[in-house]
Every structure is written in structure tokens, then in C-alpha cells.
């Protein structure tokens, strides 16, 4: 009987030691985490937060999740999530050029609209040259046009390197021009005729 009891103790001890060795040998996925962090940093440097914000945010959240797993010593899960993080970051990097091209195409369309708006306002200023009543409006438009033309040239240069920023500036300028065109059209509209009395 004593032999059997000793055998059970030895077996239980071996199982406990094996389990301890198995769990104690698990290591944090440092290589995978390093790759994930480098990929995320590369995406950040290539302006992923500006051009593919959803993908970049998912990658950041995934990295945080992997770090949480490491903190909780869940290394297997951490390794899988770190690999997913690297994949998400690489997808963000791949999507940057496509997003830039789309934003640039949209910005170039807005640039054409801005140029047309400037040309329309120049035509307005030229068309009211002889109307003394509209002299103040004409001079205001001419002053604004000079500023907008200088700004427009600067933004077009910026479009080559800072696409998103230039696109946003172009949209803001287009809104200002559209508003000024509406004001000019209102000045040229004939005054409503007085209502006839019966």
C-alpha cells in the first residue's frame, strides 16, 4: 500500500512539475511585438492617421490588445494579436497611396472649380466697371481676387507634397468664392418691381 501511495505522490509531483515547466517556459512574443511596433511606426511616419484613419486606429487598438495579453501573461494570444497588428499596419501602409491619389484627384477637381470661380468673379468685376453704384463692390471683389489668386498659387504648389492639407484649403477657398459669387449675383439682380395698387 505504501508503494501505491508513493507512486501517486510521484505521479502528482511529476504532473505539477510538467505543468509548471510548460507554463514557465512560455515566453513573451518579443519578435512579433517588435515587428508589429515597427510596422505601426512606419504607417504613422507615412501619414496613415491622415489618409487611412480607420485602418491605422484598428492597428493601434490591436497593438494595445497584444500588450494587455502580455501583461496578463497570455503569450499565445499576444503572439497572434501581434501578428494581426503587423498585418493591419501593412494594410494601412498599402492603402495610403490609394487614399492620397483619391484625395489628390478630388482636390484637383476642386482646384478647377476654384479657378472657374475666380474667373467668374473677374468677369463680374469687369462687367460692372462702368456702374458707379457698384464701384465699392467691384473694388472689394478686386482686392479679394488678388489675395485668392496668390493663395491659390500657393495651395497648388502644396498639393504636390501635402495633398490632404491642400485639399482642405481648396475646399475652404471654394466655399468663400461661392459665397462671394452669390453676393455678386444678388447685386446684379434687378430690384423687385413695386407692387401695383388696385
In this predicted structure, what is the pLDDT of residue 194?
60
Assess whether 80 and 126 both reside in one domain.
no
2 within some domain: no
Domain boundary among 97, 113, 129: 97
In this predicted structure, what is the pLDDT of residue 192?
59
Pairs from 62-71 (Cβ < 8 Å, separation ≥ 24): 62/36, 62/88, 63/36, 63/37, 66/29, 66/33, 66/36, 67/33, 70/28, 70/29, 70/33
Q: Which residues of the chain have pLDDT under 70?
A: 1-2, 7, 10, 16-25, 133, 188-198
Contact between residue 120 and residue 181 where contact means Cβ atoms under 8 Å apart: yes
In this predicted structure, what is the pLDDT of residue 124?
79
Q: Which residue range forms the structural domain that includes residue 71?
A: 29-97
Assess whether 91 and 107 both reside in one domain.
no
pTM: 0.62
Domain boundary among 73, 97, 121: 97
172 within some domain: yes
Domain boundary among 97, 130, 155: 97
In this predicted structure, what is the pLDDT of residue 196?
63
In this predicted structure, what is the pLDDT of residue 175?
93
Assess whether 143 and 162 both reside in one domain.
yes
Assess whether 179 and 154 both reside in one domain.
yes
Amino acid at each position: 500500500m505504501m508503494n501505491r501511495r508513493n507512486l501517486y505522490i510521484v505521479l502528482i509531483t511529476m504532473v505539477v512539475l510538467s505543468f509548471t515547466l510548460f507554463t514557465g517556459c512560455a515566453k513573451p512574443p518579443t519578435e512579433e511585438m517588435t515587428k508589429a511596433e515597427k510596422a505601426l511606426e512606419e504607417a504613422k511616419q507615412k501619414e496613415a492617421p491622415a489618409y487611412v484613419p480607420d485602418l491605422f486606429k484598428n492597428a493601434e487598438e490591436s497593438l494595445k490588445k497584444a500588450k494587455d495579453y502580455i501583461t496578463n501573461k497570455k503569450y499565445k494570444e499576444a503572439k497572434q494579436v501581434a501578428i494581426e497588428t503587423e498585418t493591419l499596419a501593412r494594410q494601412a501602409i498599402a492603402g495610403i497611396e490609394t487614399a492620397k491619389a483619391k484625395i489628390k484627384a478630388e482636390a484637383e477637381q476642386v482646384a478647377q472649380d476654384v479657378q472657374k470661380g475666380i474667373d467668374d468673379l473677374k468677369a463680374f468685376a469687369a462687367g460692372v466697371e462702368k456702374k458707379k453704384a457698384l464701384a465699392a463692390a467691384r473694388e472689394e471683389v478686386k482686392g479679394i481676387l488678388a489675395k485668392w489668386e496668390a493663395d491659390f498659387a500657393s495651395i497648388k504648389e502644396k498639393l504636390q507634397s501635402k495633398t490632404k492639407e491642400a485639399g482642405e484649403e481648396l475646399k475652404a477657398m471654394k466655399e468663400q468664392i461661392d459665397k462671394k459669387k452669390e453676393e455678386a449675383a444678388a447685386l446684379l439682380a434687378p430690384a423687385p418691381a413695386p407692387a401695383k395698387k388696385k
